[in-house]
Structure 1
Amino acid sequence: MASRDDYSARHLSVLEGLEAVRKRPGMYVGSTDSRGLMHCLWEIIDNSVDEALAGYASAITVTLHADDSVEVSDDGRGIPVDIEPRTGLSGLEVVFTKLHAGGKFGGGSYNAVGGLHGVGASVVNALSARLDATVTRGGKVHALSFRRGEPGTFDGSKPTDHFEAAQAGSPLQVSGRAKRGMTGTTVRYWADRQIFTPDAAFNDEELFARARQTAFLVPGLKIVVKDLRGAERAEQVFQYDGGISEFVEHLTPDAPVTDTWRIQGHGTFAETVPVDGQMQEVQRDCEVDIALQWGTGYDITVRSFVNIIATPKGGTHLSGFEQAMLRVFRKAVEANARKLKAGSDKLEKDDVLAGLTAVITVRIAEPQFEGQTKEILGTPAARQIVSKVVAGELEKKLASAKKADKQQTSVLLEKIVSEMKSRISARQLKETQRRKNALENSSMPAKLVECRAKEVESSELFIVEGDSALGTAKLARSSDYQALLPIRGKILNVQKASVSDMLSNQECAALIQVIGAGTGRSFDVSAVRYGKVVLMTDADVDGAHIRTLLLTLFFRYMRPMIEEGRVFAAVPPLHRVEIVQPGSRPNDVRYTYSESELIALLAELETSGLRYKEPIQRYKGLGEMDADQLAETTMDPQRRSLRRIRVEDADAAEKAFDLLMGSVVAPRKDFIIEGSRALDKDRIDA
């Protein structure tokens, strides 16, 4: 072990140029897996998008090549190729080899941009086995290649070809001529596999999503994404003239309560920044552009951006938005408390935001971000400016005398107050459950037939249609792990009803209470009291309707249970066929679950020369079975069949529930009329 005195200046390492990037890549791109690989691509794309934001580019093409390279091309002004006086290098070489170099540090070339730190292009260059940059300017095509950040020339077109490092002067080459007025930049690079993990790969779905998002944020910008890596080549073109209003419509998961509202404004603030080595106060402008829409559900979808860069962890702009929303709607509800029956309770942020889809964008010159990955906006003044703009525009909207605005405002305020009441009811229910001790079961509905199992995973709750079926199910169940909850008739259609109506409905409230995990956004799937929930209804039209109503309740207010595959539908039989066995052998019993299955069984028996007792028993309901039959066909895990309820496509499921169970009648009527043409009347069990 070296002595204390042996530690001296010669032990210190000084990393020159891009050496620091290769030594600590995680500092610049977050990681060296697929996430870091995609971050490099975003840096190059963002440079092209900044040209579009500045008004100089109208099209960007991103191509994933089969040789593991990626190419980004734009029709912007082209990176400068003249000599930068302080370094004596061409502008192109400066951008790709010098950290914190570029046209975004107050030189007037850009106003509000995404690439701010001046390290994006140079970091990608340092982490690439090869990078080729081509610039079209002034009627010429200029080319420059790099290997791991070092400029030079390759003998061929592959990163493994022989490379000759530049000796002196700028190695910029003129590779051809261009049409007059044509400008642009093309960057193609191969990520260095010495840096990135072997399994790091470009994700085309993520790329498509990011390209779509950017096209929404920059109206009119055309983005073409090509994936040439597989046998089936994929290409998508994104271009939206409606901007973030179209983005909100794309993101909205449910039926709208309001139209898409657009909030725009700006503000100025003073900021002290270093200018030529001295701290000076400069005036900044902050532009605010927000699109929002409330839907019938309770899911919150809010996307925030600064100069088209996503800020998934929010920041001061999001804080200002939420602050203004809460303040304005608290004031509006207080002013209409009597009409809305709001009482003295105060709104909380989640009450206002429930069901909201919003896209929040701000444009600021040189915003302050936390870290190179730019996930959080830190500019303090943005909070106050966004809050002021949002509050002013929302107050105008809520006070509007236009008929459409008044109708939407009225429905929206009712929804927000309903969310508040739902939150308070859910909290009271949870507090009631917490207060009860092990000896007190009075908080559970009296009609619940509980099981003895304490382990959630092994327990099952059967929701049974009617008291007659309950009596049989009590005898058929295994009381160790199977609990029963009867429901009377058809429960409330929660797709059409308000949250408060749902909570005040006796059957819905009992079911939610027995499940024990709350509702809506406060639903905690880890608190569910049973491992499986089985809907056991009659095998007829009414039973199917009751099952649909129950599924609507689960999908609307306890969706995580469906997403985890913990909700099932029992499959009771329709027919019982007793087959007469020859001699003294006992008769055999077979169950069938459809008319076609019964016909096939009878044909099989006729072919085999076997007789069966007539009439064949047709079960109209679960109550017609005795306990042994119900256990054998529907409740015994060894012999029963259960149909697991899944939501493979949440958007499609949402639309289906809204069509079949929602408050808008006309589309449902059209659906029924259209479907009636394909209905076989002989299938109707009259």
Structure 2
Amino acid sequence: MVTRRKSGQDGDERDAYGAKNLTVLEGLDAVRKRPGMYIGTTDSQGLMHCLWEIIDNSVDEALAGVCDHIVVTLHTDGSIEVADNGRGIPVDIEPKTKMTGVEVVLTKLHAGAKFGNSAYNSAGGLHGVGSSVVNALSSRLDVEVDRDGKTHHMAFHQGHAGVYADADPAHPSPDSPFKKTRKNKPTELEIIGTVPRRKTGTRIRYWADPEIFNETAEFNYEQLIERVRQTSFLVPGLKITVVDENIPETGDAAVDELIESDVETARADAVEDGDTVAAGDEASAEESSLADAETIDLLAEAAAADAGDGGDGGESAGTPEADAELAGADGNLAGAERAADLVVADTASAAKPAHRRVEEFCHTGGVVDFVDFLSHGEPVSTVWRVQGTGTYQEETQAVDDNGDLHAEKVTRDCTVDIAMRWVDGYDTTIRSFVNVVETPGGGTHVDGFLQSLTRQVRKAVEDNARKLKVNLKDAKNKVDRDDILTGFVAVVTVRIAEPQFEGQTKGVLGTAPVRGVVSRLTDKQFSEMITGSKRGYKDQSGRVLEKIVGEMHARIQARKTKEVTRRKNALESASMPPKLSDCQPGNDDIAELFIVEGDSALGTAKAARNSSFQALLPIRGKILNVQKASLAQMLSNKECAAIIQVVGAGSGATFDISQRRYDKVIMMTDADVDGAHIRTLLLTLFYRYMRPLIEEGHVYAAVPPLHRIALTGPRKGQYIYTYSDDELADRLAGLDADGIGYDADIQRYKGLGEMDADQLADTTMDPRTRMLRRITMIEAEQASGIFSLLMGDEVPPRRQFIVDNANDFDRSKIDT
């Protein structure tokens, strides 16, 4: 039933709605009203996004080749400062708004130098809202710009320009009295000091507004370090320093050491610059180098004085006297000026009280170093790289001289840099970036790369089908993308002008023509690598293809055996190994699987076990060494396949420990060298293809006795078991000392089959009396190295290991 209003009421509401009900949000007020439109959320994610916007602006200067050092400082008052030695935000008047460039950038949405092609060929912040949005969402923002021999300063409160009256200028606060600049009146930049004319840079310090961000918003230091590290990989040669002032101070000694180190480095650079002068100018070069060194010392002293107590009457950098002296030395900077500038930047931040948490990042290898950093496990290939530049046409809106927009078709350059590698693990790691901005959702650049990668691998498998033992007539034998990406590590980067992102948070690249550029470059270069036609890639490509085909077979096999891996269907499955003597169902939380060496021991073990929770699986002799064998060879081995099938949780990437059929997997082999070798082979299988079993402590080694001592006299019918020759000697000596008689004919077990059922139960199988060794793995990387050394293909390292450790042999440390 619909209730209708009376016509009179309806008419009143219609008449009441007019222009007075409309709200016009001007400037940055719209950002404060709807912050989620610009930074995604107002929780921790949005808080970090504001920092990324400021850092990305400095990184864009580095991409333009005019910045090589960025310093991020986390102050104790909760503010964050980002400083760079780039060109500095323009300080002159923008003709259209009649405002300084600093005020335009920090107060006007969609304003900046990245809408055209003159200042930046590629950049991360392209929407022109980054800095202004951070300003709008900050309770206070201070900016300092070094340009034209002067240091310019401007302050903002919640996006509005004005002047703060700080009680202590050395400790600015967002709670200080603030006077807003009158509406529609541009704010003049305050000049607070002078610098060498060629010194440029920008420093932005802001306090996130608690009125905007919710109470759960927290700054994440680990995210910052990860972002800074990845940026240093993506911009080779860029140095990024992170200083956290929230860590207790370490003292002035560390400050002096850091200053001295920076000054010595800069002085060395100055002398080196002097050495490069032509031979005829050696005298002037030496004189210039000495003058440069003196100037560097002067700059360092001034910076250190600036960081002093402030009450000693010393002149600090920025005072008229010091500025005049520095300006007078400006002519001596010459080729060492950039080095001296870095000293000023470094010592200005370092000459504060030192802190424990100061981290610096600088890499020169680019994406190759990045992939190497991301790789975990034994490498199957070296780092392969696809590089190049392609072009595409795009229609865009260009700004003419009158400030009007018009459609224009332009030709764009797309620079592609991709590094990739396969390792022996199962995880896939693909990191993608556009102009150093990460695109966690991928986009057209990743799509083009993966399409080409899949196409070229499939073609290579078809061309080498006979060698790889792939039956192309079987439609199931087709490589899937998941097979290719198992153990795959890659970094995909592109640099383009004006990329189209999906949203301000830049999670996905949407520029469609980039897909074709990346795909064509990958087709050409990767095809030469995967086919082995490129020099030095033949052996690597063979290993990569063998791994991929092995993953394909594993996937197919896992699909075939999916049902038999589940406990409730295992006993009904005809495909379970017939030699398995399973336990009764219903005891999954305590069920034990004994892997028994030999059929003779199996007969005794059947009589000795508790069939309610103990299952037996015999193996014949030594199983396949899976460290040397391929995945396909492992799956075709009957003993290995039977163990994987009986454990019931799959293998490799498909292994699911929650589906295991037994709580304990116990290796029960003879107490001799052959038995130890079999245990090692079994452990290699578990480590390579069922690693979570070891990691979570479900794998054990039974400890059967080596000797049996039969007591005589009053103790006749009692037995003592020993587990090594040394223990036997000690027990016999003890019996002699105590005057206890024993049969001189000591029984030595050559194998498990020599025990009767009661003896095997008492010594090895009964939980009340047995002894088990749990197999653990504390360091995964160390364990991987040990398996590769002892069970791998390389004989010389193994031989050398034996030679080096022969003199330190300790029988008590080995499982025999």
TM-score range, shorter chain: 0.7 to 0.9
Name the CA distance, whole Å, in 2 between partners of 1:154 and 1:634: 82
Name the CA distance, whole Å, in 2 between partners of 1:599 and 1:192: 77
Which residue number corresponds to residue 28 of structure 2?
18
Which residue number corresponds to residue 246 of structure 1?
369
Which residue number corresponds to residue 445 of structure 1?
577
Which residue number corresponds to residue 130 of structure 1?
140
Kindly indicate whether the alpha-carbon contact (under 8 Å) linking 1:577 and 1:613 is maintained by their aligned counterparts in 2.
no
Which residue number corresponds to residue 217 of structure 1?
234
Question: Residues 71 and 548 from structure 1, CA distance in 2 versus in 1: closer, same or farther, beyond 3 angstroms?
Answer: farther
2:496 to 364, 382, 394: 364
Kindly indicate whether the alpha-carbon contact (under 8 Å) linking 2:707 and 2:723 is maintained by their aligned counterparts in 1.
no
Q: AA paired with 2:391?
A: T
Which runs of structure 2 are paired with 1:317-328 in the superposition (5 Å)?
A: 317-328=445-456
Q: Is the partner of 2:377 in helix, strand or coil?
A: coil
Larger mean Cα displacement after TM superposition, 513-522 or 385-394: 513-522
Which runs of structure 2 are paired with 1:424-463 in the superposition (5 Å)?
A: 424-430=556-562, 440-454=572-586, 456-463=588-595
Which residue number corresponds to residue 181 of structure 2?
167
Q: Residue 658 in 1 paired to residue 788 in 2?
A: yes
Report the CA distance between 1:158 and its aligned residue. 4.5
Kindly indicate whether the alpha-carbon contact (under 8 Å) linking 1:464 and 1:470 is maintained by their aligned counterparts in 2.
yes
Per-residue CA deviations over 1:316-354 (Å, capped at 9, x if unaligned) read: 111111111122222233233334332213322233333
Kindly indicate whether the alpha-carbon contact (under 8 Å) linking 1:151 and 1:171 is maintained by their aligned counterparts in 2.
no
Name the CA distance, whole Å, in 2 between partners of 1:484 and 1:149: 74
Kindly indicate whether the alpha-carbon contact (under 8 Å) linking 1:29 and 1:39 is maintained by their aligned counterparts in 2.
yes
TM-score (norm: length of structure 1): 0.86
Q: Residue 330 in 1 paired to residue 340 in 2?
A: no
Q: AA paired with 2:798?
A: R
Which runs of structure 2 are paired with 1:225-236 in the superposition (5 Å)?
A: 225-231=242-248, 233-236=356-359
Name the CA distance, whole Å, in 2 between partners of 1:25 and 1:571: 63
Kindly indicate whether the alpha-carbon contact (under 8 Å) linking 1:150 and 1:165 is maintained by their aligned counterparts in 2.
no
Q: AA paired with 1:259?
A: T
Kindly indicate whether the alpha-carbon contact (under 8 Å) linking 2:456 and 2:530 is maintained by their aligned counterparts in 1.
no
Report the CA distance between 1:148 and its aligned residue. 3.3
1:202 to 219, 224, 228: 219
Q: AA paired with 1:373?
A: T
2:703 to 539, 549, 572: 572
Which residue number corresponds to residue 384 of structure 1?
516
Report the CA distance between 1:309 and its aligned residue. 1.5
Name the CA distance, whole Å, in 2 between partners of 1:163 and 1:599: 88
Q: Is the partner of 1:497 in helix, strand or coil?
A: coil
Which residue number corresponds to residue 292 of structure 2?
none
Question: Residues 427 and 85 from structure 1, CA distance in 2 versus in 1: closer, same or farther, beyond 3 angstroms?
Answer: same
Report the CA distance between 1:385 and its aligned residue. 1.3
For structure 2, the 5+ residue unaligned runs are: 249-354, 399-403
Q: Residue 92 in 1 paired to residue 220 in 2?
A: no
Report the CA distance between 1:681 and its aligned residue. 6.6
Kindly indicate whether the alpha-carbon contact (under 8 Å) linking 2:532 and 2:541 is maintained by their aligned counterparts in 1.
no
Report the CA distance between 1:146 and its aligned residue. 2.9
Kindly indicate whether the alpha-carbon contact (under 8 Å) linking 1:573 and 1:619 is maintained by their aligned counterparts in 2.
no
Question: Residues 576 and 186 from structure 1, CA distance in 2 versus in 1: closer, same or farther, beyond 3 angstroms?
Answer: farther
Per-residue CA deviations over 1:264-313 (Å, capped at 9, x if unaligned) read: 12222222323333333332221111122233444433222111112222
1:45 to 40, 46, 55: 55
Q: Which has the higher helix share?
A: 2
Kindly indicate whether the alpha-carbon contact (under 8 Å) linking 2:705 and 2:723 is maintained by their aligned counterparts in 1.
yes
Name the CA distance, whole Å, in 2 between partners of 1:233 and 1:295: 36
| Greater C-alpha radius of gyration | 2
Name the CA distance, whole Å, in 2 between partners of 1:223 and 1:42: 14
Question: Residues 633 and 186 from structure 1, CA distance in 2 versus in 1: closer, same or farther, beyond 3 angstroms?
Answer: farther
Report the CA distance between 1:639 and its aligned residue. 7.1
Q: Residue 315 in 1 paired to residue 332 in 2?
A: no
Per-residue CA deviations over 1:455-493 (Å, capped at 9, x if unaligned) read: 755544333344455445444544334333233333222
1:272 to 375, 385, 395: 395
Sequence identity, in percent? 56
1:394 to 521, 526, 529: 526
Report the CA distance between 1:379 and its aligned residue. 1.5
Which residue number corresponds to residue 303 of structure 1?
431
Kindly indicate whether the alpha-carbon contact (under 8 Å) linking 2:565 and 2:647 is maintained by their aligned counterparts in 1.
no
Report the CA distance between 1:409 and its aligned residue. 3.2
Report the CA distance between 1:115 and its aligned residue. 1.6
Q: Is the partner of 2:562 in helix, strand or coil?
A: helix
Q: Is the partner of 2:578 in helix, strand or coil?
A: coil
Question: Residues 433 and 246 from structure 1, CA distance in 2 versus in 1: closer, same or farther, beyond 3 angstroms?
Answer: closer
Kindly indicate whether the alpha-carbon contact (under 8 Å) linking 1:576 and 1:589 is maintained by their aligned counterparts in 2.
no
Question: Residues 256 and 91 from structure 1, CA distance in 2 versus in 1: closer, same or farther, beyond 3 angstroms?
Answer: same
Question: Residues 449 and 681 from structure 1, CA distance in 2 versus in 1: closer, same or farther, beyond 3 angstroms?
Answer: closer
Q: AA paired with 1:140?
A: K
Q: AA paired with 1:572?
A: V
Q: AA paired with 1:253?
A: H
Report the CA distance between 1:164 and its aligned residue. 0.9
How many residues align? The count is 682
Report the CA distance between 1:411 and its aligned residue. 3.6
Q: AA paired with 1:219?
A: P
Q: Residue 56 in 1 paired to residue 66 in 2?
A: yes
Kindly indicate whether the alpha-carbon contact (under 8 Å) linking 1:294 and 1:356 is maintained by their aligned counterparts in 2.
yes
Kindly indicate whether the alpha-carbon contact (under 8 Å) linking 2:708 and 2:748 is maintained by their aligned counterparts in 1.
no
Question: Residues 292 and 13 from structure 1, CA distance in 2 versus in 1: closer, same or farther, beyond 3 angstroms?
Answer: same
Q: Residue 261 in 1 paired to residue 389 in 2?
A: no
Which runs of structure 2 are paired with 1:111-150 in the superposition (5 Å)?
A: 111-150=121-160
Per-residue CA deviations over 1:200-222 (Å, capped at 9, x if unaligned) read: 44333333332222111111111
Q: AA paired with 2:114?
A: K
Report the CA distance between 1:247 and its aligned residue. 1.8
Q: Residue 104 in 1 paired to residue 232 in 2?
A: no
Question: Residues 576 and 120 from structure 1, CA distance in 2 versus in 1: closer, same or farther, beyond 3 angstroms?
Answer: farther
Kindly indicate whether the alpha-carbon contact (under 8 Å) linking 2:570 and 2:576 is maintained by their aligned counterparts in 1.
no
Question: Residues 672 and 129 from structure 1, CA distance in 2 versus in 1: closer, same or farther, beyond 3 angstroms?
Answer: farther
Which residue number corresponds to residue 340 of structure 1?
468
Name the CA distance, whole Å, in 1 between partners of 2:378 and 2:114: 42
Larger mean Cα displacement after TM superposition, 363-372 or 394-403: 394-403
Question: Residues 481 and 37 from structure 1, CA distance in 2 versus in 1: closer, same or farther, beyond 3 angstroms?
Answer: farther
Q: AA paired with 1:330?
A: R
Q: Is the partner of 1:404 in helix, strand or coil?
A: coil
1:501 to 594, 615, 633: 633
Question: Residues 205 and 663 from structure 1, CA distance in 2 versus in 1: closer, same or farther, beyond 3 angstroms?
Answer: farther
Which residue number corresponds to residue 84 of structure 2?
74
2:654 to 509, 522, 527: 522
Question: Residues 479 and 101 from structure 1, CA distance in 2 versus in 1: closer, same or farther, beyond 3 angstroms?
Answer: farther
TM-score (norm: length of structure 2): 0.74
Q: Is the partner of 1:141 in helix, strand or coil?
A: strand
Report the CA distance between 1:72 and its aligned residue. 1.9
Name the CA distance, whole Å, in 2 between partners of 1:596 and 1:145: 81
Report the CA distance between 1:55 and its aligned residue. 0.8
Name the CA distance, whole Å, in 1 between partners of 2:172 and 2:631: 62
Name the CA distance, whole Å, in 2 between partners of 1:666 and 1:605: 47
Report the CA distance between 1:514 and its aligned residue. 1.5
Name the CA distance, whole Å, in 2 between partners of 1:139 and 1:446: 87
Q: AA paired with 1:340?
A: L
Kindly indicate whether the alpha-carbon contact (under 8 Å) linking 2:233 and 2:365 is maintained by their aligned counterparts in 1.
yes
Name the CA distance, whole Å, in 1 between partners of 2:73 and 2:750: 62
Question: Residues 400 and 527 from structure 1, CA distance in 2 versus in 1: closer, same or farther, beyond 3 angstroms?
Answer: closer
Name the CA distance, whole Å, in 2 between partners of 1:685 and 1:518: 28
Q: AA paired with 2:808?
A: A
